[in-house]
């Protein structure tokens, strides 16, 4: 850990060839196997013991004190520790200062408990160490990835058997791809759009080859824009920056009183853009299926219709909400997603995969042709190498994990999780509305809600006050909510996050709200009540 910790009392370890190569050999004898298994036991259950003892974000040690322990920057020449000591250190010294995202009291972010079998599946993928960038280092893993992509594609687009028979193992077409995370999935989708809209044509070899400046010239435009709601994930803005169209051209449309993209404002903006003397191409409209802050779903069917009418590419960021499609009961909430040209879904969110696994799906199996890259030594034309159409290069066979999980859970298993989240969030909202100390800010459409501490007497003042008074009160409430959230986090028993939302009323104030994400099946209404109790207690002592 720090310099003092590395002072070895044991006889000094020495790196030598014999010891080293042994770590590469499959152990043959029972004794070595038993040792390796023992380490695995330590990892599986040593951590479990810790996770039982600690909840939320432990703060016994401040961030500053903790940082001070990790300042040594010299790599030791000889080994500092044996594997068993490294594991022990990780379990005893490191893990206690990590965040117990698996606790049912950790309801602040989109990171949560994962089923234990995910750890087994990831271990298997790690031991195989395939690289799906090319068939020569993956073979069956690349084939299986295509199958899993088709399975999820079918959940979204519901094309017929003929379509999937044609494309599931077609080397020339692509139903989607696995990528690092939702940010990279959104970037991939918008990269594909940009290249499809600014495609090669007479005397122009396409934006990918000639760049933005030449593309705008060839197409006689001065700027490209992408339209999103102002609750869109910041990765869309980042994608605009990375892709060279400029992040100020990611136009954020206001939301309606339900935190969904405001269709009237959207239509107005489209009209303005079309009439603007600055010749502008609308590359895409992005709908959100599960906004990061509020969990709300944009009116996807309406957005799809607007896109079709105006011949605009339609992308849906369903990084959060995508797996809702697995629930017969709630999949209607994502109605219209099948109209999307592309859809982002995160595996490490509501597919409960280990960190991290993003995916992006495309309606048109040939659209990824706009991002093809070949190389002599890999990804040769005509090969089935998945790296030919992919933002990333080397990557592990995460599809094996999703495939295994789908087999173990069935869609019904996933839908139970989805339904638990949505219904528990509903009950939680009722509880918040019952308590006079709280104000529900955004109702849960999926399994995310926001609220704030706003005692009844203050609420009354807020209703009756002048605009000036209201602004003052909101400022004060912001301070209170910010403090309560921090104090609760620091107490280490539970964790809700906070964010800032612009409220839809005459003040248009930015208000600080508490944000809950209900995805852990062990999180129930009683735990949520405890969390509210604690917040009330902290508030009462402020």
What is the footprint of a copy of itself within residues 173-212 (CB under 8 A)? 179-184, 191, 205, 207-212
Closest CA to 301 of 320, 283, 287: 287
The Cα 349–Cα 323 span in angstroms is 9
Residue among 94 and 308 whose Cβ is closer to a copy of itself: 94
Binding-residue pattern over the window 347 to 366 for a copy of itself, x denoting contact by CB under 8 A: -x-----xxx-x--------
Q: Does residue 13 bind a copy of itself (CB under 8 A)?
A: yes
Closest CA to 132 of 528, 401, 503: 401
Buried b (16+ CB within 10 A) or exposed e, 243-260: bebeeebbbebbbbeebb
Q: Is 218 within 8 Å of 201 (Cβ atoms)?
A: yes
Q: Does residue 121 bind a copy of itself (CB under 8 A)?
A: yes
Binding-residue pattern over the window 427 to 466 for a copy of itself, x denoting contact by CB under 8 A: ----------------------------------------
Residue among 34 and 308 whose Cβ is closer to a copy of itself: 34
How many angstroms separate the Cα of 207 from the Cα of each of 204, 239, 443? 8, 16, 43
Residue among 427 and 461 whose Cβ is closer to a copy of itself: 427
According to CB under 8 A, which residues from 141 to 180 bind a copy of itself? 141, 143-144, 146-147, 150-151, 153-155, 164-165, 168-169, 179-180
Q: Does residue 72 bind a copy of itself (CB under 8 A)?
A: yes
Exposed / middle / buried, residue 407 (Cβ in 10 Å: 0-12, 13-18, 19+)? exposed
The Cα 349–Cα 355 span in angstroms is 8
According to CB under 8 A, which residues from 77 to 96 bind a copy of itself? 77-83, 86-87, 90-91, 94-95
Q: Does residue 241 bind a copy of itself (CB under 8 A)?
A: yes
> Treating both helix axes as pointing N-terminal to C-terminal, what angle do 140-157 and 399-434 enclose, rounded to 10 degrees?
40
Q: Which of 4, 29, 73, 468 binds a copy of itself (CB under 8 A)?
A: 73
Q: Which of 92, 140, 309, 472 binds a copy of itself (CB under 8 A)?
A: 140
Q: Does residue 244 bind a copy of itself (CB under 8 A)?
A: yes
Q: Which of 283, 368, 515, 518 binds a copy of itself (CB under 8 A)?
A: 515
Residue among 295 and 455 whose Cβ is closer to a copy of itself: 295
According to CB under 8 A, which residues from 271 to 290 bind a copy of itself? none
Q: Is 448 within 8 Å of 496 (Cβ atoms)?
A: no
Residue among 344 and 439 whose Cβ is closer to a copy of itself: 344
The Cα 233–Cα 248 span in angstroms is 15
The Cα 474–Cα 200 span in angstroms is 53
- Identify any residues that bridge with 317 across adjacent strands, giving them in sequence order: 288, 344
Smallest distance from the beta carbon of 457 to a copy of itself, in angstroms? 28
């Amino acid at each position: 850990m720090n310099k003092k910790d590395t002072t070895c009392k044991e006889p000094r370890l020495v790196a030598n060839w014999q010891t080293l190569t042994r770590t590469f050999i499959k152990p043959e004898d029972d004794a070595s196997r038993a040792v390796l298994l023992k380490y695995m036991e330590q990892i599986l259950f040593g951590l479990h013991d810790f996770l039982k003892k600690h909840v939320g974000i432990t703060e016994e040690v401040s961030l500053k004190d903790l940082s001070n322990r990790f300042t040594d920057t010299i790599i030791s020449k000889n080994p500092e520790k044996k594997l068993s000591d490294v594991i022990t250190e990780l379990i005893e010294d490191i893990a206690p200062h990590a965040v117990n995202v698996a606790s049912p009291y950790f309801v602040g972010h989109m990171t949560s408990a994962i089923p234990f079998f995910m750890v087994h599946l990831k271990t298997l993928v790690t031991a195989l160490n395939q690289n799906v960038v090319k068939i020569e280092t993956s073979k069956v893993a690349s084939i299986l990835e295509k199958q899993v992509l088709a399975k999820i594609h079918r959940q979204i687009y519901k094309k017929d058997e003929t379509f999937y028979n044609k494309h599931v193992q077609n080397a020339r077409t692509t139903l989607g791809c696995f990528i690092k995370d939702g940010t990279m999935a959104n970037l991939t989708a918008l990269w594909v759009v940009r290249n499809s809209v600014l495609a090669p044509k007479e005397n122009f070899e396409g934006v990918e080859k000639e760049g933005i400046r030449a593309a705008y010239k060839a197409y006689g435009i001065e700027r490209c824009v992408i339209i999103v709601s102002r609750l869109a994930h910041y990765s869309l803005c980042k994608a605009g920056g990375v892709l060279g169209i400029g992040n100020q051209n990611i136009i954020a449309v206001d939301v309606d009183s339900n935190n969904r993209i405001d269709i009237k404002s959207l239509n107005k903006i489209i009209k303005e853009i079309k009439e603007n003397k600055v010749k502008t191409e609308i590359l895409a409209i992005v709908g959100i299926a599960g906004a990061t802050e509020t969990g709300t779903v944009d009116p996807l069917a309406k957005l799809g219709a607007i896109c079709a009418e105006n011949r605009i590419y339609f992308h849906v960021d369903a990084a959060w909400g995508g797996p809702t499609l697995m629930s017969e009961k709630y999949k209607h909430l994502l109605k219209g997603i099948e109209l999307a040209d592309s859809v982002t879904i995160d595996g490490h969110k509501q597919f409960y995969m280990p960190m991290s696994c993003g995916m992006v799906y495309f309606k048109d199996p040939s659209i990824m042709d706009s991002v093809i890259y070949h190389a002599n030594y890999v990804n040769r034309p005509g090969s089935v190498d998945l790296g030919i159409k992919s933002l990333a290069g080397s990557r592990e066979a995460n599809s094996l994990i999703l495939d295994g999980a789908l087999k173990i859970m069935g869609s019904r298993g996933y839908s139970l999780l989805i339904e638990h989240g949505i219904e528990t969030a509903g009950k939680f909202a009722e509880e918040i509305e019952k308590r006079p100390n709280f104000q529900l800010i955004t109702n849960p459409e999926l399994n995310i809600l926001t609220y704030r501490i706003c005692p009844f007497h203050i609420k009354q003042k807020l209703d009756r006050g002048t605009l000036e008074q209201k602004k003052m009160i909101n400022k004060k409430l912001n301070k209170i909510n910010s403090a309560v959230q921090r104090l609760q986090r620091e107490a280490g028993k539970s964790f809700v996050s906070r964010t800032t939302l612009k409220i839809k009323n005459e003040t248009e104030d930015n208000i600080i709200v508490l944000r809950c994400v209900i995805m852990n099946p062990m999180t129930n209404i009683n735990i949520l009540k405890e969390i509210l109790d604690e917040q009330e207690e902290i508030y009462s002592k402020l």
